[in-house]
Amino acid sequence: MQKKNVAKFLLACLLMFVSFNSQAFSVKEPQEGGDAKVNTEEEISEYIDHHLADSHYVNFFSDGETGAHYGFSLPVILWDNGLKVFSSGKFHHGEDLAVIDGQHYRLYHSKIYKTDAEGTITYGENGFPANERPLDFSITKNVLYMLVVSLLMLLVFGGLAKQYKNRSVPKGSGRVLEPLVLYVRDEIAKPNIGKNYRKYTGFLLTVFFFIWILNLLGMTPLGVNVTGNIAVTMALALITFFIVQFSGNKDYWKHIFWMPGVPWPMKIVLAPIEVLGMFTKPFALMIRLFANMTAGHVIIMTLLGLIVVFQNWIAGPAFFGFTIFISIIELLVAFLQAYIFTLLSALYIGMAVEEHDHHHPADNEDIPVL
């Protein structure tokens, strides 16, 4: 019975995700002497970019006809010759300038620039805005949802820890989480790290559930794309990188800079390759998570856009069906990417803390040498 309820809940989330985003592609009013025009490919592409980008607003939905936005503004925290804190509502979704202490700021493509009174944005030779940017410590949409997920994990796993401490059987959400916790410990941490697995199990559990929950939030109508932000995946990969380097034993560093059992001329050649490998591993973690989650969102948004572009009774149901199918696959990808990131992190940590046996059997008098 519980499985049926979970399936119904997931299906409802998928339908809400599809319907909410379908409403974003509105049909335009007919021009004089012409027929109603649908969204162009450029407008659909702009909507997809807007959905994937971070924002200073939490926008639940928009009215395509009036252009009204329904949500709430987030705090802007800038350091520009002093601390400046104000609401992002002053930008009115990028349409207005915010004047703080006589300085004009403009929100342009999710970034805040210093401008003149007219809000002029100048471009450099590289094609990017050349306006000066203040240090931005704002609470953006991605930051907000990461804080929410962190708080949720503290509450849920804090309760689970108390149940374990009292030696009681997990109840409520603990029954769902316990098999996953045991899976990460027994199938990821133990086999890949070895006898020191307890030291790193907390990190592996944290990163697994953090990524998984954020991936699932990306499947809701909230327009969340945290793990599709390369800055977020880079930060997660850097945490793994620093844990690996600071946990590395002497065998790990010896293998990198002076590989044992290899002629010394080859050691000189292999050392730079091994050093490069130290940085390619977290880079692979960063790109894999970012690319897979971004690709899923782009495909779903594109299929929804094609429904409005073609606008007929054949393409509509077909693309809608494809969207539901891809959304179901995305649920699997959400779990799979959290699993892969955690597994590779455990593997890299295990390589760093592995203790090599330098004792050769030929040196043991109890073992006959043939």
Please write the tens of the pLDDT for every residue from 175-185.
888 889 999 99
Mean pLDDT of 25-45: 50
Asked which of 27-41, 153-167, 192-206, 243-257 is least confident by mean pLDDT, the reply is 27-41
What confidence tier does 125 reach under pLDDT thresholds 50, 70, 90? confident
- Is pLDDT at 73 greater than 60 in this prediction? yes
Report residue 62: phi and psi, to 5°: -130, 150
Strand partners, 111: 108
Max mean pLDDT range (28-37, 248-257, 306-315): 248-257
Q: How distant, in Å, are the alpha carbons of 41, 91, 226, 302 from that of 14?
A: 24, 32, 18, 16
Count of residues for the chain? 370
Mean pLDDT of 346-350: 94
* End-to-end Cα, the chain, rounded Å: 65
- Is pLDDT at 350 greater than 60 in this prediction? yes
Q: Which residues contact 143 (CB under 8 A, 6 or more apart)?
A: none
CB 219 within 8 A of CB 252: no
Asked which of 66-70, 169-173, 268-272, 306-310 is least confident by mean pLDDT, the reply is 66-70
The beta-carbon contacts of 318-324 under 8 Å, at least 24 apart in sequence, are 320/18, 323/18, 324/14, 324/15, 324/18
CB 280 within 8 A of CB 237: no
pLDDT for 326? 86
Percent of the chain with pLDDT over 90: 31
CB 121 within 8 A of CB 129: yes
Mean pLDDT of 3-31: 51
Q: Closest Cα to residue 173, out of 151, 157, 186, 149?
A: 157
- Is pLDDT at 363 greater than 50 in this prediction? no
Please write the tens of the pLDDT for every residue from 199-253.
999 999 999 999 999 999 888 777 788 998 999 999 999 999 999 999 988 888 8
CB 343 within 8 A of CB 351: no
Average pLDDT, the chain: 80
Please write the tens of the pLDDT for every residue from 78-124.
998 889 998 888 887 667 788 888 888 988 888 899 988 888 888 88
Domain residue limits, the chain: 75-138, 142-353
Please write the tens of the pLDDT for every residue from 334-346.
999 999 999 999 9
pTM: 0.81
SS3 call for 80 = coil
Q: How many angstroms separate the CA atoms of 184 and 302, rounded?
A: 35
Strands (E), the chain: 57-62, 69-73, 75-79, 83-87, 97-100, 103-108, 111-115, 135-136
